[in-house]
Structure 1
């Protein structure tokens, strides 16, 4: 998906070459993953040339994955996640100010 988000559209053969170089997957493995993404509606395929395009934004995926993480690890509670995360962090004044700004903007 990162390839498609950064390139807008790529032929499946080009995706396969790039993935082979960086991850080591064989062509069949990459094509199987592309097919699954198409079946799930995350990628669209255009012919001729088996051109692939992302059908979902990176931001939407981040939202979905964040909700899944909260549900799986923190029983769906943002408060539990924040408490757990902050208990293990040393935040500086600028980070605390940024967090306060984010929180105050939520009330608007």
Structure 2
């Protein structure tokens, strides 16, 4: 699956609804967006169209499905933040969180485990 284009917060919020409910009819998605996001129908249809234009959603016969999965979007978002804010440096990214004290002992252990699994697979 190719990397998705840059997505807005609204794009992300609607994609989350689609991923948790797909396939979903566009009228039902509008009701869900109204209930969970407080959006008007026109807002939802605008974001659906934008995501279709970006190649992230398909809206055929009033049924909305995703063309990108959550993991792909998360990976692209992570790379974008890493490049934009840390000049591509993962150590600088992690150092920022460690300096802020925002990593729990459990999260640190999970990160260590991920790094160990990465080392063993590469």
TM superposition score category, shorter chain reference: 0.7 to 0.9
| Cα-to-partner distance string for 1:4-42 (whole Å, 9 max, x where unaligned) | 111221111111111112222211111010001111110
- The runs of 4+ residues in structure 1 deviating greater than 4 Å are none
Which protein, 1 or 2, shows the higher relative CO under an 8 Å CA cutoff with sep ≥ 6? 2
Structure 1 pair 91–17 and aligned structure 2 pair: CA distance change class (3 A): closer
Matched residue, 1:63? 75
* Count of residues in Structure 1 that have an aligned counterpart in Structure 2: 105
Give the Cα separation in 2 of the matches to 1:97 and 1:22: 34
Q: Does 1:100 align with 2:112?
A: yes
Q: Does 1:54 align with 2:66?
A: yes
**How far off is 1:83 after superposition?**
1.2
CA RMSD of aligned residues (A): 1.6
For structure 1, the residue ranges without an aligned partner over 5 or more in a row are none
Give the Cα separation in 2 of the matches to 1:100 and 1:18: 39
- Name the stretch that deviates more: 69-78 or 31-40: 69-78
Matched residue, 2:84? 72
Matched residue, 2:40? 26
Give the Cα separation in 2 of the matches to 1:14 and 1:96: 41
**How far off is 1:97 after superposition?**
3.7
Matched residue, 1:38? 52
Assess if the C-alpha contact under 8 Å between 2:17 and 2:33 holds in 1: no
**How far off is 1:3 after superposition?**
1.7
Structure 1 pair 100–25 and aligned structure 2 pair: CA distance change class (3 A): closer
